[in-house]
Amino acid sequence: MSHLASRRGRFSVRVHVRALIVSGLLILASVGVAVVNLSSGDLPVPVGAVLKSLVGQGDAGTDFIVYDLRLPRVLITLFVGAALGLSGAIFQGLTRNPLGSPDFVGLTVGASSGALIVILLLGGGGLTVGAGAILGCLTTSITIYLLAFRRGVQPFRLVLMGIGVSALLDAFNSFLVYRARLDEAVEAQVWLIGSVNGPGWTEVAVVGVLLAVLLPVALHFGRHLDMLALGDETALLHGVRVERSRALLALAGVGLAAGATAAAGPVSFVALAAGPLAARLTRSPRAGLLPATLMGAALLVGSDWLAQRVLPGNDVPVGVVTAALGGLYLTWLLAGQGAKR
């Protein structure tokens, strides 16, 4: 990959030009679609009026539509997509497996279990559902780690344990929905699909703070992912504190997945595909964490644009769109792998 490098004494800066270009294009695409989403809906607002409102020069009516009705949804879409993209890239790097995303290793299913326990067994709602999702995700991640630990954690074993725990939790979730009253089951099922229509400013603040705190941590320790991919012994020889780097990256990935799922439900596909798609655009064997983060935001804001238009007069939950795109992506990926053999 082409790059620019400069050295002054012990200070070194290395910039991958193509990754920077791709990151810039992803930012432009995300912002562009976000502005379109702010301007369209049951009460259309010209793009110019939206931009004036965002810089504090709009009228009261436009400000109400933009800030109160639409901006929380747009921001939660961007933040959740970014968190899922980053979390997926972290776990795919740690497990050295393109299927090692929170969707496949059981984290989002564990978050769903926590939320369903609050909704169906405790009768909770609102922020308590989010708290249950975060607790469920953290509990599941610890369980998978302990089950996979045998004189250390091997990536392949971690993925297999995650898939096994995910299957068990899926069965548990289905049982909870089956035994619930009809109105409770409908509420739970809507949450399980994944939607960005309900969250408000509180959820925006929670996911935004998580991103602000965990993104720098992930980017700092993400520099070690390439070394970790070569094996623990090689990483140790290059001065990487293996267990600390792996633990902090895993904690960041779990926190991001938990916060995103708590805010919008278990939105599928984004964490799985953001990293590999960013890697293809940057022409790199493994996507950098920042391009993967921006790809996640672009994927979810674009999916929400489709969700609002796929059926005229109906606001389809964004999880339906991402699941359909995920199926197409996996089919294309497997077909491509088959053609190479």
pLDDT for 293-311, tens place per residue?
A: 999 999 999 999 999 887 7
- What pLDDT score was predicted for residue 29? 95
Residue 175, token pair as written in the block? 């049982």
Confidence check: pLDDT of 337 > 70: no
Q: Has residue 214 got a pLDDT over 70?
A: yes
Cα separation, 24 vs 285, whole angstroms: 20
Burial tier of 158 (Cβ tally within 10 Å: 0-12, 13-18, 19+): buried
Which region, left, alpha or beta, applies to residue 96 given φ > 0 means left and ψ of -120 to 50 means alpha? left
pLDDT digits (tens, 9 = 90+) for 38-80: 998 778 888 888 998 888 887 888 889 888 889 999 999 999 9
Positions of E strands within the chain: 3-8, 11-16
Q: What is the DSSP string of 117-130?
A: IIIIIS---THHHH
Q: Is the pLDDT of residue 27 over 90?
A: yes
Domains recognised in the chain with CATH numbers: 3-39+75-335 (1.10.3470.10)
Identify the top-confidence range among 102-111, 146-155, 243-252, 325-334.
102-111
pLDDT for the residue 8:
42
